[in-house]
């Protein structure tokens, strides 16, 4: 397998500390809400005065979404399961967690308990493409196309697939979504490397994670191609696989879900904007905040930290319908990446069509060059008469192109899929999100 979910195993455990595994449901949920630091950072209550994501459908292409979780009841649409089961079944918990960060509405008195999503009135379209480590590069592209055909306006992709390079089924599915005016958001990855696919594809909003101090999370994949950053460390999520229904997570998955939620807020408030113009608003409203000296796009933060309040209220021109990322290509995303600069220049020159006057000038210049060359050859032959040949040591010119070999095509190194170990139901910390052994039998 070459796919990875982009959350960290540090959080696939039940919330502990103030929240005990044996605590009563209401008490547990209150502790969960208190731990949702991104809502405080974003001043969510004020954001919701402008938009709550009403009328927008966000597709969560993932492990399924538990529609019976108390924080998601009524928010989850029928959806589809491409693994042959039920899209509302989630034996892993990841998809439910992402859905809760986007459209969770909490529960209890005044919905003051449990996980509250950043776009609590948006709807979730569950697209199950992973039944616990069984997702492959042929399955999720079908899910993306399905989501588009079902009217999703935002698609959340909280996974990596090294095989979704340009020209692949995954890349074509994302292009299909973009052609149908859908905002596609994906996590950059959690192994401190470069931006992974599908986040690295042109037009995709590639998201890195921030800690509680809004500093870059050290495990985020970074580099050219990062679009935005968002909270992604120690995030409370709904997780029906946990004994109390909640867990904590760290990774670009969670940051991706928050940016998807912000996109939903904007699409709800500005229904006339295209997907590209929504992305333009997300980018133009982002800020580096306390990170002084940064220049956009930054390798770690992209165009800055996503800010829902500013995205909704700033005076930002619509911009072109295709948006700022339409022609942007992150590393290795160009199908012509194997063409050397020399070859590219030759191709460009070949495609040029000189004017008739230009042809005359070129012809005249060529004639002059020929005459000068003949004169130089005669003079050189006189100087070298009786001397070593021009092909001897130190003589002659290198063959055309010597020293400028074509650049080798960029490799797409696949990596094996590693699942997170089954949660033991007690607090554990895993220092490396991808250093864990796969589940037994996989």
The dihedral built from the CA positions of residue 147, 94, 285 and 308, taken in this order, carries a sign that is positive
| CA–CA gap between residue 372 and residue 330 (Å, rounded) | 47
| CA–CA gap between residue 6 and residue 392 (Å, rounded) | 61
CB atoms within 10 A of CB 151: 13
| CA–CA gap between residue 274 and residue 427 (Å, rounded) | 44
DSSP run (H or E) holding 356: helix 356-383
| CA–CA gap between residue 296 and residue 298 (Å, rounded) | 5
What single string gives the DSSP state of each residue in 221-283? -BSTT--EEEE-SSEEEE-TTSTTSEEEEESHHHHHHHHHHHHHHHHHH-TTS-HHHHHHHHH
Residue 48 neighbours by CB under 8 Å, 6+ apart = 120
Residue 51 neighbours by CB under 8 Å, 6+ apart = 119, 265, 266, 268, 269, 312
Six token digits for residue 62: 């993932």
- Active-site pick, 2, 8, 66, 94: 94
| CA–CA gap between residue 235 and residue 73 (Å, rounded) | 21
| CA–CA gap between residue 97 and residue 236 (Å, rounded) | 8
Enter the DSSP assignment of 111: G
- Active-site pick, 30, 62, 130, 419: 62
- Active-site pick, 100, 158, 253, 268: 253
Whether residue 15 contacts residue 244, with contact meaning beta carbons closer than 8 Å, is answered with yes
| CA–CA gap between residue 168 and residue 389 (Å, rounded) | 55
Q: Edge to edge, what strands does the sheet with 183-187 contain?
A: 80-81, 123-128, 57-62, 154-157, 183-187, 205-210, 228-231
DSSP run (H or E) holding 202: none
Q: Tell me which residue of 274, 251, 253 sits closest to 263, measured CA to CA.
A: 274
Whether residue 282 contacts residue 259, with contact meaning beta carbons closer than 8 Å, is answered with yes
Whether residue 220 contacts residue 190, with contact meaning beta carbons closer than 8 Å, is answered with yes
Question: Is 62 known to be catalytic?
Answer: yes
Enter the DSSP assignment of 305: B
Question: Is 253 known to be catalytic?
Answer: yes
Q: Give the catalytic positions in this structure.
A: 62, 94, 253
């Amino acid at each position: 397998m070459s796919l990875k979910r982009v959350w960290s195993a540090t959080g696939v455990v039940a919330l502990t500390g103030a929240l005990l595994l044996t605590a009563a449901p209401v008490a547990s949920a209150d502790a969960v809400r208190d731990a949702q630091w991104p809502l405080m950072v974003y001043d969510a209550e004020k954001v919701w005065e402008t938009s709550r994501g009403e009328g927008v459908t966000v597709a969560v292409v993932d492990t399924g979404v538990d529609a019976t979780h108390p924080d998601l009841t009524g928010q989850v649409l029928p959806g589809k399961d491409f693994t042959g089961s039920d899209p509302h079944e989630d034996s892993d918990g990841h998809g439910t967690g992402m859905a809760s960060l986007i459209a969770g509405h909490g529960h209890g008195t005044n919905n003051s308990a449990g996980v509250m999503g950043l776009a609590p009135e948006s709807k979730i379209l569950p697209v199950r493409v992973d039944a616990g480590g069984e997702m492959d590069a042929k399955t999720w592209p079908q899910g993306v196309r399905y989501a588009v055909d079902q009217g999703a306006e935002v698609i959340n992709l909280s996974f990596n697939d090294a095989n979704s390079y340009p020209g692949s089924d995954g890349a074509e599915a994302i292009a299909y979504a973009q052609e149908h005016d859908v905002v596609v958001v994906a996590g950059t990855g959690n192994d401190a490397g470069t931006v992974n696919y599908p986040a690295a594809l042109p037009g995709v909003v590639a998201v890195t994670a921030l800690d509680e101090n809004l500093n870059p999370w050290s495990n985020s994949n970074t580099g050219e191609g990062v679009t935005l950053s968002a909270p992604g460390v120690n995030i409370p999520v709904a997780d029906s696989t946990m004994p109390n229904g909640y867990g904590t997570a760290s990774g670009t998955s969670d940051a991706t879900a928050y940016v998807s939620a912000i996109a939903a807020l904007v699409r709800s408030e500005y229904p006339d904007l295209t997907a590209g113009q929504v992305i333009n608003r997300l980018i133009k409203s982002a800020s580096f905040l306390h990170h002084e000296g940064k220049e956009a796009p930054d390798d770690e933060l992209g165009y800055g930290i996503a800010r829902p309040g500013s995205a909704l209220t700033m005076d930002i021109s619509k911009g072109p319908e295709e948006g700022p990322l339409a022609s942007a290509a992150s590393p290795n995303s160009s199908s012509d990446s194997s063409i050397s600069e020399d070859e590219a220049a030759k191709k460009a020159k070949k495609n040029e069509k000189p004017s008739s006057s230009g042809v005359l000038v070129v012809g005249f210049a060529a004639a002059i060059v020929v005459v000068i060359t003949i004169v130089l050859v005669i003079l050189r032959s006189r100087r070298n008469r009786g001397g070593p040949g021009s092909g001897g040591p130190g003589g002659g010119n290198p063959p055309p192109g010597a020293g400028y070999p074509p650049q080798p095509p960029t490799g797409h190194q696949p990596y094996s899929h590693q699942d997170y170990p089954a949660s033991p139901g007690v607090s554990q910390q895993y220092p490396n999100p991808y250093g864990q052994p796969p589940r037994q039998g996989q």
